[in-house]
Structure 1
Amino acid sequence: MPPDPLPMPVHDFPPGALVSVLTPDMPLRALDYLAPEGGVATGAWVVVPLGRRQVIGVVWGPGAGGFDPARLRRIDTVLDAPPMQEELRQFLSRAADYTLTPLPAMLRLASRVPGLADPPQMRRLIRATGTLPARSTEARARVLEVLAELGGAGVPQADLCRAAGVGAAVIKTLIAQGVLTEGEVPRDLPYPRLDPATRGPELSSEQAAAAAALRAGLRQGGYGTTLLKGVTGSGKTEVYLDAVADVLAQGRQALVLLPEIALTADFLARVEARFGALPGEWHSGVSPAERRRLWRMSAEGGVGLVVGARSALFLPFRDLALIVVDEEHDTSYKQEEGVLYNARDMAVLRGSIAGARVVLASATPSLESWANARSGRYGRVDLGARFGTAELPDMQAVDLRAAGLPSNRWIAPALQQAITARLALGEQSLVFLNRRGFAPVTICRACGQQIGCDQCDARMVEHRFQQRLICHQCGASKPIPTACPSCGVEGRLAALGPGVERMAEEASALWPDARVKVLSSDLYSSARALKEDIAAIAEGGADIIVGTQIVAKGHNFPRLTLVGVVDADLGLQGSDLRAAERTFQLMRQVAGRAGRAERPGLALLQTHQPDHPVIRAILSGDEEGFWQAEAEARQMAGMPPYGRLAGIILSATDPQPPFDLGAELVRRDGPLRAVGAEVWGPAPAPIARVRGRHRVRLLVKAPKSCALQPALTAWLAQVSVPAAVRLAVDIDPQSFL
């Protein structure tokens, strides 16, 4: 059924009234304007003059006043777009306050829709009238067959001609005979209705109990967050889709966030199989026209389920009842540029404001979510067994200290033998290394110089498939040189260390008859190509998969029975606060790709540290013991989630001004000390120069109960930031680079 019509907006402000308009363009706050003829409603999208430009904004409330009325300018146009509801305005305001982001920058996230200022567009569609043609021909029959398959839905003439394989003359003749009719309809049509009554797969008793718990929360009403923790392959998706069905049956809306675009193809297919139609899709790979349509339909109630990346959290939902954050532990949910926010945390914030239920789903939850569930702040539902006959893979360590590997080889004999055995059985193997490219370092054996980026303090990574050196910080690239850029000696450059391209080369040499496929995000120019390759692999299109962490994120390869981790120690290097947690999550996730169907799985972890506590925890499968030990260590150190952190990043093209400003901030740390916080730094960032800008970091550590944001605001307000220096605040930082 189509949604109920939107209520007519109440014109809170009569013509000429003083109103506050927030625009995603400069300046840093809302400005006062005069309401137009006919008045205007709070939340209305409008076009206003700003300097010499015309910009889009939102009526945020009554004007602040205090200006010469003669200097005030009038709102030019009220757009024909659904007004922004109070719930979304509150969410943007509170998200801005939490992240210390200027509100206009936060509004920008909610207004990324092509053609928002354009009037509603129409398009002409062809439909069948039910009248038969005067004379039947093969071409006319194909036209009617195509329209019958659409079940009464109209189709543009060009698409109909293409689908039926006929020319425009055939269509025009049928229109003239009254067999077809052509009419105009709005371009932004509601999405096909998902049928919540369609039966999904039969749930196990454990899954049914978990689904019932989620449905009970929905029917209770109001906000609540539940951690849905289930081992890989346990059927978490089917459990939360059961809750989505409950939302759809109520005529309300649900949002499912996924960490990677590559996951959407398989997920959309599952939704279509479950509900008989496709949901709305929102991410960077969606066409501008489709994004405009989804933005409008989410506001008008013309879409029941939206599947998207983290930015989908800022869509203007009319009646949001459920937010699911799948793979909630994934670092992709943290926006590291522009507005710095964690979509997992913002999902919980939006759910609390909208009165919606939030489900955080993961096999290896973040310590923050685990601790919130343990303290009772979140509910928790567990799935401890894989669905059907599938069992969790056996996990074993391969001690590289005793493997006797030559210096130019990385696949140990034990892993080589296991892959050979799988090839003989017609099964797939995954060789996992979380490092893109061919080699992370290119060194000159004549002078010892390592080739670095001209704009960053980072080594350039050799990508042999592309014949280029690429900086993974700024994206700069250049051809692989034949002579050393430093000393000019020819033929002495050497690639050190392995990346996935090098691992693919080694696999092809060891198994020349095997089909080797590399899965790495940098090798794909489009999300569609990546999706197609993942689908082909799932159908058996490769014998050996060599991949980065992209393969660990929810993909289902039924023929995959062996996972070999080339370097399980890689994530344990350095002093990252979350190194142990992330290594544990990644290893458990990637191992979980094996044995997801009837055949048993095996995961081999190559390591130089088989006795490391994290490696032992991974192999033992004692997840609760690992989280407990990690929680105790963090609690003793006063670190998140038992303390609070905020990063201050200062950058400039000249290295001195950021240090000077950082030192000045440290001298004025009174507002922080007043709430029990302390500041560390300033110090050069681990990667001190990125895109030609020198970076200095300060880290603020505070007690859990500290009112950190007001203290940070008062602290930063004491200094004047030079025009040449950029200052960014990262609340709850995930990366310290």
Structure 2
Amino acid sequence: MGAMSRVRVIVLNSALGPLDYRPPKDAAVAPGSIVVAPLGPRQLVGVVWEAERLPAEEVEAKRLRPLLHAYDVPPIAAPLRRLVEWTADYYLAPLASVLRMTLPSSSALDGARTVIEYRATGEVPGRMTPQREQALERIAGRQGLVRELALAADVSDGVIRGLVKAGAIAAVEVSVEDPFPVPDPAYAPPDLSEAQDTAATELRAAVADGGFAPFLLDGVTGSGKTEVYFEAVAEALRQGRQCLVLLPEIALTEPFLKRFSARFGTEPVAWHSGLRQSQRRRAWRAIASGDARVVVGARSSLFLPYRDLGLIVVDEAHETSFKQEDGVQYHARDVAVMRAKLEAIPVILASATPAIESRQMAEAGVYRELKLPARYGCATLPDIAAVDLIADPPPRGRWLAPSLVAAIDETLERDEQALLFLNRRGYAPLTLCRACGHRFQCPNCTAWMVEHRLTARLACHHCGHVMPPPRACPECNEENSLVPCGPGVERIADEVAALFPDARTAIVTSDTIWSPAKAAEFVGRMEAGDIDIVIGTQLVTKGYHFPNLTLVGVVDADLGLSGGDLRAAERSFQQISQVSGRAGRGEKLGRVFVQTHEPKAPVIAALVSGDAEGFYAAETEARRDAAMPPFGRLAGIIVSSEDLNAATETARLIGRTAPSVDQMAVFGPAPAPLAMLRGRHRQRLLVHAARSLDVQDVIRDWLGKLDWPRTVRVAVDVDPYSFL
């Protein structure tokens, strides 16, 4: 039977392997074609693949069913097909799960030219219910499909439909084919410093020459890394090619979009989870056709089918949020480098505090390192001082040391802005009963419930479970006995309000800045001088540029140093360096106060002395001695089930059958630090292997021979970043 009368297809169902079909009656299909395949009574979207690359069960020719049809969209190109294979192989994930990231909803494939969406008209219906009230309040200014509005408002689809009938929400026809404006590389070329110009020249040349070229753009905060890599973007635009800029947080896109518009005269195409269905459709089709010239997106934008990619930039490349923690557990920084290699194009990793893994690649000569050692223009790096909380303690029940309070006072006197950083959302990380000591724990997770005063809720930050704070202790029934322990940002905000009653404050966390629009509003208020003191979590550590912000106070520098995490010290150093980098970015001098109980700890000493190189050298040496990444390899095996016995037995079975392989050790099983998450009991094993060992093959063979109950989930996390 001829090769063209049989095609191999991967359908978007990770429970199924590759399947063979006959081509559709009306068309020949090449590898990469996106098709509709019949499976029993169902119709599944799939992608045609090279048969020689994927073994499938042999089926007689006469039993093959024909594909129903091929979509009229460009095929998934060979470099992206190879990336899908590599990602599935490296991260031990089903091919279909990775492929699903390249294809959004099938409606983008149909190419409907218009779609009906809904938005509030401003009219209030005659009959109001609490649900209708909630819906109208939450969807004000939003637009989307009925389902999207219902999800945003946390009500049923029926409530939204009822409001449509009542005239409070109206239908809007949206075109999904409008072309995006094209950025102009000559719109507003920047005035670069000598160091910036040298780096930009090298990047421009790499883009013009083509070919795989990985760069580490290592510049102190405020040195103008963005302006430098924008010159590489401009060169790719001149060549008529597409660019992808990856950002770690959706909230960061807003300041970035403003800077991009100022340089290129128009906004780039955004891709993130906050887009409406119609926006996703329009962006996907423009990316596939090549009309979307510059895409700025979250990690998932890495797998989109760009027609002619010429450059990838990973901004804030050290960020741990580039690691996907569920589903396909890939690291976007590493996959970006692999995509650039397969597409034969340059990739730029930009960071003020590069990860040890990236530094090692630069040291080995695999990445070309470009350094920007000084801040742009007349801005200088801030002075950093440690505040010893033992020698200079805050008053009882307070969290800000007298010297930091005095510094905030001076800053406000000068009409300048201050930022207090604490990586803890909510009011207090733990609530307990003063009478009997009962601690409030999440019913679904091994985690404490966190008090949120602003919303009058106790919340679990792992599964999202919320409950109103009870009047009485559930253990001893004592009324009004609940006390918050430890500070969260809301508690620091209360303290600031008591100390500086006239200061205008803003709390910046993922609870308050949950969309690009909210981020834009915050940036606008800061730039207009409407905020005196910002209290925020890691969301404020990166990307923002406020010239009038001159003081940063790190409330608890010791917070990130516990927990036995491989990268705890490195992450603390990065976070505090990044948050320090928000101070003194204009002409005014910046100051940073770091509150700690251990001023002599290596991380704190390195921050205060500015000896980043010394800190990284010591951390790198410690990793080398322990053969930890990047000098060794790790993989986590996480076993979970709603049934404790099933999880424990499966974990023991995996531990018992661990292969005896040279240069590989298996630790565990043991209950995970979060021994229960979202109602599932969790056990962990850790595989530690030499750099040279293909640990994926070993794990694939080992787990492939085992059977466990259907109620048990076994996930493998290659290169883990979370050890919870």
TM-score (norm 2): 0.89
1:424 alignment partner in structure 2: 413
1:28 equivalenced with 2:16 (yes/no): yes
Does the 8 Å contact 1:96/1:102 carry over to 2?
yes
1:203-352 correspondence to structure 2 within 5 Å: 203-352=192-341
1:194-251 deviation per Cα after TM superposition (whole angstroms, max 9, x unaligned): 1112232200001001111212222332112111000000000000000000111000
Aligned to 1:724: 711
Paired position in structure 2 for 1:511: 500
Alpha carbons of structure 1 residues 510 and 584: separation in structure 2 relative to 1, 3 Å:
same
- The answer on 1:708 being equivalent to 2:700 is no
What is aligned with 1:584? 573
Residue equivalent to 2:454: 465
Q: In structure 2, what is the Cα distance between the partners aligned to 1:313 and 1:726?
A: 27
For residue 697 of structure 1, give the secondary structure of its aligned residue in structure 2. strand
Deviation at 1:529, TM superposition (A): 1.8
CA offsets, 1:451-486, max 9 Å, x none? 011111110000000000000110000001111122
> Where in structure 2 are the equivalents of 1:584-663 lying within 5 Å?
584-663=573-652
Describe the superposition over 1:141-168 as per-residue Cα deviations: whole angstroms up to 9, x where unpaired.
xxxxxxxxxxxxxxxxxxxxxxxxxxxx
Cα distance in 1 for residues equivalent to 2:176 and 2:500 = 53
Q: CA deviation at 1:662?
A: 2.0
Asked if the contact 1:257–1:326 (Cα under 8 Å) also holds between the matched residues in 2, the reply is yes
Secondary structure of the residue aligned to 1:523 is coil
Amino acid at match of 2:5: A
Spell out the pairing of 1:554-565 with structure 2 (5 A cutoff): 554-565=543-554
What are the equivalent positions in structure 2 for 1:162-177 lying under 5 Å apart?
Answer: none
Q: Are 2:317 and 2:349, in contact at CA under 8 Å, matched by a contact in 1?
A: yes
Residue from 67, 75, 82 that aligns with 1:75: 67
**Does residue 1:118 correspond to 2:121, yes or no?**
no
Q: Are 1:88 and 2:88 an aligned pair?
A: no
SS of corresponding position for 1:606:
strand
Structure 1 431/317 Cα, relative in aligned 2: closer, same or farther at 3 Å?
same
CA–CA separation in structure 2 for the residues paired with 1:347 and 1:610: 38
Q: Per the alignment, do residues 674 and 208 of structure 1 end up closer, same or farther by CA in structure 2, a change over 3 Å counting? A: same
Report how far residue 190 of structure 1 moved.
3.1
Alpha-carbon distance in structure 2 between the residues aligned to 1:690 and 1:668: 26
> Counterpart of 1:533?
522
Residue type at the aligned position of 1:96? A
Question: What is the rounded CA distance, in whole Å, between the counterparts of 1:186 and 1:604 in structure 2?
Answer: 52
Q: Which moved more, 1:184-193 or 1:327-336?
A: 184-193
Report how many residues are paired: 664
Match of 2:677 in 1: 690
Deviates further, 405-414 or 594-603: 405-414
Task: Verify: 1:105 aligned to 2:92, yes or no.
Answer: no
Give yes or no for contact 2:32–2:78 (8 Å, CA) kept in 1.
yes
Query: Matched residues in 2 for 1:418 and 1:404: separation?
Result: 15
Q: Report if the CA contact (8 A) 1:329-1:364 is conserved.
A: yes
Q: Contact conserved, 1:14 with 1:40, CA < 8 A, in 2?
A: no
Is the partner of 2:267 in helix, strand or coil? coil
- Return the letter of the residue paired with 1:191: F
Q: 2:478 and 2:467 mapped to 1: Cα distance?
A: 18
8 Å Cα contact 1:114-1:288 kept in structure 2: no
Per the alignment, in what secondary structure is the counterpart of residue 558 of structure 1?
coil
Q: Match of 1:324, SS?
A: strand
What's 1:374 paired with?
363
> What RMSD over aligned residues (CA atoms) do the two structures have, in Å?
1.8
Q: Specify the SS of the correspondent of 2:378.
A: coil
Partner Cα distance (1:117, 1:52) in 2: 21
- C-alpha distance in 2 between matches for 1:108 and 1:231: 38
Query: What do the CA deviations read for 1:268-298 (whole angstroms, capped 9, x no partner)?
Result: 1111111112211101122221211221111
Q: Deviations over 1:174-200 (max 9, x none)?
A: xxxxxxxxxx99842432121112232
- After superposing the two structures, state which structure 1 stretch, 285-294 or 87-96, moved more: 285-294
- Per the normalisation by structure 1, the TM-score is 0.88
CA distance in 2, matches of 1:657, 1:187: 48
Identity %: 51
The aligned counterpart of 2:157 is none
1:50 is matched with which residue? 39
Letter in 1 for 2:708: V
**1:24-43 residue CA offsets vs partner (Å, 9 max, x unmatched):** 12433221111111322221
1:365 partnered with 2:354: yes
Partner of 1:133: none
CA drift of 1:65 comes to 6.0
Aligned 8 A contact 1:645 1:699 in 2: yes
Whole-angstrom CA distance in 1 between matches of 2:306 and 2:520: 28
CA distance in 2, matches of 1:303, 1:241: 17
Q: Distance in 2 between matches of 1:16 and 1:300?
A: 26
CA contact (8 A) 2:45 2:106 kept: no
Instruction: Kindly indicate whether the alpha-carbon contact (under 8 Å) linking 1:431 and 1:545 is maintained by their aligned counterparts in 2.
Output: yes
Q: Tell me, what secondary structure is at the counterpart of 2:183?
A: coil
Aligned partner of 1:100: which letter?
A: L
In 2, Cα distance between the equivalents of 1:528 and 1:109? 25
Mapped to 1, the partners of 2:487 and 2:211 lie a distance apart of: 51
Report the Cα distance in structure 2 between the residues aligned to 1:725 and 1:435, rounded to whole angstroms.
Answer: 32
Question: Residues 211 and 264 (structure 1 numbering): CA distance in 2 closer, same or farther, change over 3 Å?
Answer: same
1:175 alignment counterpart: none
Q: Does 1:396 align with 2:388?
A: no
Instruction: Quote the offset at 1:72 in angstroms.
Output: 2.2
The CA deviation at 1:375 is 1.1
Q: Which has the larger radius of gyration?
A: 1
Match of residue 666 from structure 1: 655
The answer to which of 476-485 and 522-531 deviates more is 522-531
**C-alpha contact (below 8 Å) 1:518/1:546 kept by paired residues:** yes
Contact 1:721 1:727 in 2 (8 A): no
Unaligned residue ranges in structure 1 (runs of 5+): 1-12, 125-183
Query: Do 2:550 and 2:584's aligned partners in 1 also have CA atoms closer than 8 Å?
Result: yes
Instruction: Tell me how far 1:52 sits from its aligned partner.
Output: 2.2
CA distance in 2, matches of 1:185, 1:37: 34
